[in-house]
Amino acid sequence: MSWPRLAYSGAIGLLSPLIWRRVWREQLPDRARGERMGCLRPFADERPRLWLHCASVGEVVAARPLIRALRLRHPDHRLVVSTMTATGAERVLSLVDDVPEAEAAAPLSHVFVALDFPGAARRFVQRLAPRQAIFFETELWPNLLRACARRGIPVAVVNGRLSPRAFRGYRRLRPLMAESLACVDWLAAKSGEDAERFVELGMASDHIQVVGSMKFDMALDDASLKVSERLHAAIGHRPIWVAGSTHPGEDELLLGVQRRLQARFPDILLVLVPRHPQRFEEVARLCQEAGFETVRRSRGRVPSARAEIYLGDSMGELQALYGTADLAFVGGSLVPIGGHNLLEPALMGVPVVTGPHLDNFEDVAQLLRDAGALVEIADADELVERVAALLEDAEQRKRLSEAGQGVIDTHRGALEATLAGLDRLLGHGQGR
């Protein structure tokens, strides 16, 4: 074992109590925690397996077009998607039937990825035995990558991105990253800037292809559209704005914005969707303590005319809830989180509003910005004014909606380029 990986493995060994504490709650009731150490249960059949790793629910949502395409492209395989979080696991399992019934498709399975201890990583890869390993975005785990390379498994990183902040962190570990990236056979980068950052970390430039972002290849979900239409009809004609993927410290600000907007729009409804399900109860309590008439999505109720907050405390429905609104604020951006997917509301034809913290989505934000499809605010005070102005200007909302959908249509294509690259890599792997 090289000294960078030895030092890294020693460090995570020392931190293992904290790591276990962090992942202990990330579990499903019927799953053994031994999966975290690579102890996978036997699969239902002997089909060859393809492995895709996504960190959490956000990456699974972004990878949905790829998951669907791989299942249709390789019906004689089994696609195994791993995640670190329980919410990501639930999102994967919700995609089991996400293919046309008439189409032959590979079965879809979920496993929790092994923690990146050397033995756990080796055991995980040995028992999974995939024909190809695909890591989504920046999931670069040194021992897992090395375990794949040792077994001759072709490794790809797709939708590869490195935000400036992530790059600064990885650059401090350049010897370890260079060794890890040497295990990657092909990297599909989202942008030229991302590709340059990977090269600076030690990735061979001739193993990188700039293909764009797969986020633009999202498809409208018929089920989400139907939910949006039913909800919109049930709520009736009143001003509606959504705040999606919100974080601690942000919810309080947004509730203050809602209260101020009510002075100008007495019947306005805020659809509030926290990012993490473990915060649903906490945010419900915040709404009630602030004196808002709150209806919870998980209770199966539709907001009455008296409701002021509709709490989106259900899984996998953010896209549908975006579709009910006159405009959408995308969270993680009023507090220094780095933002979330700006394209989800745009795909639903909803004007997009964001705060100033966009480190994780600056590339997408710039495209929307250049097209006049993004409303950016500096703080809660400005959010009040911009939301009010948009609610009073239907023509401006229409222009923003059309511009956002135009950006998505213009930048589609990363999925096909990624699939072509994965096919080439799989073909090369067969000859190993």
Over residues 162-185, the pLDDT tens digits come to 988 889 999 999 999 999 999 999
Which pair of structure tokens corresponds to residue 158?
């797709």
Q: What are phi and psi of 56, to 5 degrees?
A: -150, -165
pLDDT digits 0-9 by tens, 269-284: 999 999 988 899 999 9
Cα–Cα separations (whole angstroms), residue 213 to 58, 130, 218, 385: 14, 25, 10, 32
pLDDT digits 0-9 by tens, 3-16: 889 999 999 999 98
pLDDT digits 0-9 by tens, 107-125: 999 999 999 999 999 999 9
Cα–Cα separations (whole angstroms), residue 94 to 20, 64, 84, 275, 299: 26, 11, 16, 18, 20
Contact partners, residue 26, CB within 8 Å, separation at least 6:
84, 85, 86, 112
Domains and CATH numbers, the chain: 3-212+413-430 (3.40.50.11720), 222-410 (3.40.50.2000)
Angle between helices 142-150 and 118-128 (to 10 degrees): 50
To the query of whether residue 59 is one of the catalytic residues in this protein, the response is yes
Predicted pLDDT at 44: 83
Q: Region 377-406: what's the mean pLDDT?
A: 97
How many Cα atoms are found within 13 Å in the side-chain-facing hemisphere of 403? 18
Catalytic residue among 59, 137, 179, 344: 59
Whole-number Å distance between alpha carbons of 356 and 358: 6
Predicted pLDDT at 432: 40
- 371 DSSP 8-state letter: T
pLDDT digits 0-9 by tens, 31-74: 888 999 999 999 988 999 999 999 998 899 889 999 999 999 99
Q: What percent of the chain has pLDDT over 70?
A: 98
The answer to whether 136 touches 159, Cβ cutoff 8 Å, is: yes
Cα–Cα separations (whole angstroms), residue 77 to 41, 103, 245: 18, 14, 34
Mean pLDDT over the full length of the chain: 93
Predicted pLDDT at 431: 41
Predicted pLDDT at 430: 52
Predicted pLDDT at 25: 79
Is the per-residue pLDDT at 1 higher than 70?
yes
Is the per-residue pLDDT at 76 higher than 90?
yes
Whole-number Å distance between alpha carbons of 71 and 272: 34
The string of DSSP codes covering 345-368 is HHHTT--EEE-S--GGGHHHHHHH
